[in-house]
Structure 1
Amino acid sequence: MVRSLLRQGADPNLANAEGLPPLHLIARRDVHGDMIRMFLSTNEERQQTVGIDARDNSGRTALEWAVTSCLPLAAKSLLKHGANVSGFVFPTPSDSDYLGRGSSLTKLTAATGLLAIVELLEARGYEMGRDDALKLMGFFDKYGLYESTDFSTSKDVDDLVDSLFEQMAKKRTYIDYLKFVSSYKMRKIPYESMEACSVRLCEKILTKFCRDWALDPFMESLHYRLPIVCCEMIMEKLKNKDLFNICLAAAGRRS
């Protein structure tokens, strides 16, 4: 229907009563990125210009809406069609109502999805800073991705988590991680083990990002009195929530 309307001359940039152009509306909900591809390709066929980097009444671009809604495939489609990252502003956790504190598998999808978004932005030249990393860690916290892993599980569950993470680690990109999490392999996890597996996998998936961004703030807090190797050894013992708190404390000192 959308394609038909566009081909009959519908204005692809006409905002609704809330000041949202069609592309922005699509970017908030397009889980698979298909609608964005169809919308933009149809307008390209008609040689109709779409304001892909236009800002709505709230000041956001379609790309910023896709990121706020944690929709990496929507972001991928926008970037592929030329969305510019030079003026991109990383959203804050308070900007997003996505997920709330959803099911364990939904949280796992959020973990891989958020990291996939960072990967996509950086591939297009976006440079993450400490403030951006802190915002992303705030998303992890909002979505309940720092849940404690201090609970006992059976050897079968531990082996399953290790096996799943080993399979994920072989993937080349976080988009591939996301596809794996959405695959039938995850659906085959016994229901009674799903919560434990998802929490443990979230911890493993987020660890590298959290350690990488917490290292400098951690060394800073020690006034660089310890060599980097010692700091890395200490951080290996910390949970992702601890690493987030280190970054929060550093941001507080800088403000």
Structure 2
Amino acid sequence: MNTRLYRYLEISLFVTAIRRELHRRVRSHAFPCGLYVMYDCADIIYEFIKLGQDPNLLVRETGDSPLHLSLTFTYDYYNKSVFALLDMGANPNLSNREGLTPLHVVCKNYHDNIRGVMILLELINEKYQPLQIDAKDKLGRTPLQWAVVSCLPDTIKFLLDRGADVSSFVFPTETHFAEGLEMLISIFGEDLFKDYIPLDLMKSINNLEEGGYEVDQIDASTIMKIFAKYGLLKKTPGLDEYLRSDEEFVKWAKEFMINPSWSLYDLLQLRPEKAAKLLKCTDYSELWRKSPYKFESELKNACVVHLCEIKLREIFQPWALDLMLKLTDYQLPILCCDTIIEKLMSEDLWRIYLAVTGQNL
């Protein structure tokens, strides 16, 4: 049987049965079954609401609405359910018991569900009350903050483009980052986490900066603490060996273009401080995710650490000279300090910052 026809007949039979049950319950004044149990089927959602179901009926235990539940997932048919719920009057600004709005939910997801965010922001602006894009949950956290700790660079860019207030944005704490990153580790596992999430975090920070946010020294230190905590600063000594001896990798790296002028091979030949002057992390992070090359785990991790080092160096660079001068009590000439800084890695610069500010690791 034709799949589409079968789907239509299946839904028709189900809706007929549901219609009978709803009419029976209405006549007997029985409490109707919650719409939230059907949050994953747009066709049935339309029928339920037409029959009198409340599109804002909440789950008693959590306070979640059907819109919250639909945005918990990332598949396209769930986004169709989001559209259906909004089309039939769902309130996009309802918060659950944790103070999370539907926008919070989609921004603390493990996947960049940019389509879900687009539906929320664009459809609502046309037909419903303005979306509270900077709403705070019960811990005072905004959707933009959740998108940062969940490493969702595209969502961050979209929120900023649609009016999220960067002037009042507070960079997430180490504790908040740990919540988001531990969730990602539980979903992807430690190996996949280390292979991809660090670059997404770097791109997220880059998008914040392009949106007008200025990373300060405290923010930079928080980022370094996160990298240190999850072992993302450990440079694998074998990368140079791979570049010398792994012919298949070298061939692929030379063909893998970061931008029209630079290949991945070119980039890996440069020290991070030089690469930072030539490239932005947006030039390579998304391409890296789509890489067809099957790396050995050690090689992939070494490449990721090297690529992240480029952005980390860029973050610390504005204060590097001042920190070095303070560390040496202004006893060294600026030229000497610059020469030393060129040889240092981001972790070295971070340790200098900690020493100058009297902090411990």
Both proteins in one fold, TM over 0.5: yes
How far 1:105 sits from its partner (Å)? Answer: 5.7
1:135-174 Cα offsets, whole Å, 9 max, x none, are 2222222332211334573413598478526369699643
Q: How far off is 1:204 after superposition?
A: 4.2
Matched, 1:125 2:212: yes
Give the residue type in structure 2 aligned to 1:10.
Answer: A
Per-residue deviation at 1:50?
A: 0.8
**1:230 equivalent among 336, 340, 353:** 336
- Higher deviation after alignment, 146-155 or 166-175: 166-175
Aligned residue for 2:346?
Answer: 240
Which residue type is aligned with residue 164 of structure 1?
Answer: L
Question: Aligned runs of 1:9-48 on 2, under 5 Å?
Answer: 9-29=89-109, 30-48=111-129
* Unpaired runs of at least 5, structure 2: 1-80, 255-262, 269-274
Residues 206-247 of structure 1 deviation map (CA, whole Å, 9 limit, x = unaligned): 333344444322221112222333222212333332222222
Question: Contact 2:227 / 2:233 at 8 angstroms: preserved in 1?
Answer: yes
Match of 1:115 in 2: 202
SS of the residue corresponding to residue 204 of structure 2 reads helix
Cα distance, 1:116–1:53 mapped onto 2, change above 3 Å: same
**Structure 2 letter corresponding to 1:156:** S
Which is worse superposed, 215-224 or 8-17? Answer: 215-224
Contact 1:111 1:206 in 2 (8 A): no
State how far apart, in whole Å, the 1-side matches of 2:337 and 2:313 are.
Answer: 15
Please identify, of 209-218 and 39-48, the stretch whose mean Cα deviation from structure 2 is larger. Answer: 209-218
> What SS does structure 1 have at the residue aligned with 2:157?
helix
Structure-2 residue corresponding to 1:251 = 357
Structure with more relative contact order (C-alpha pairs < 8 Å, separation 6 or more): 1
Structure 1's unaligned 5+ residue stretches are none
Q: 1:4 aligns with which of 44, 60, 84?
A: 84
Preserved CA contact (<8 Å) 1:85 1:124: yes
Give the 3 Å change call, closer, same or farther, for CA 114–198 of structure 1 in structure 2: closer
54-63 vs 40-49, greater mean Cα deviation: 40-49
Superposed CA RMSD in Å reads 3.0
Deviates more, 1:90-99 or 1:55-64: 90-99
Once the two structures are superposed, the pairs formed by residues 165-244 of structure 1 within 5 Å of their partners are: 166=266, 173-184=280-291, 187-191=292-296, 193-244=299-350
Change beyond 3 A, Cα 1:177–1:124: same
Q: Is the 8 A contact 2:153 2:204 kept in 1?
A: yes
Task: Choose which of 55, 62, 69 in structure 1 pairs with 2:136.
Answer: 55
1:111-135 per-residue CA deviation (whole Å, 9 max, x = no partner) reads: 3323323332223322222112212
Matched position secondary structure for 1:153: helix
- Corresponding letter in the other structure for 1:181: W
- Please tell me the residue identity of whatever aligns with 1:81: R
State the 1:89 CA deviation: 0.5
**Identical pairs, percent:** 39
Matching of residue 138 in structure 1 with residue 219 in structure 2: no
Q: Specify whether residues 199 and 53 from structure 1 end up closer, same or farther in structure 2 by C-alpha distance, changes over 3 A only.
A: closer
Look up the equivalent residue of 1:42 and give its one-letter code: L
Distance across 1 between alignment mates of 2:319 and 2:202: 13
Assess, with a 3 A threshold, how the Cα gap between structure 1 residues 103 and 202 changes in structure 2: closer, same or farther.
farther
Aligned length: 251
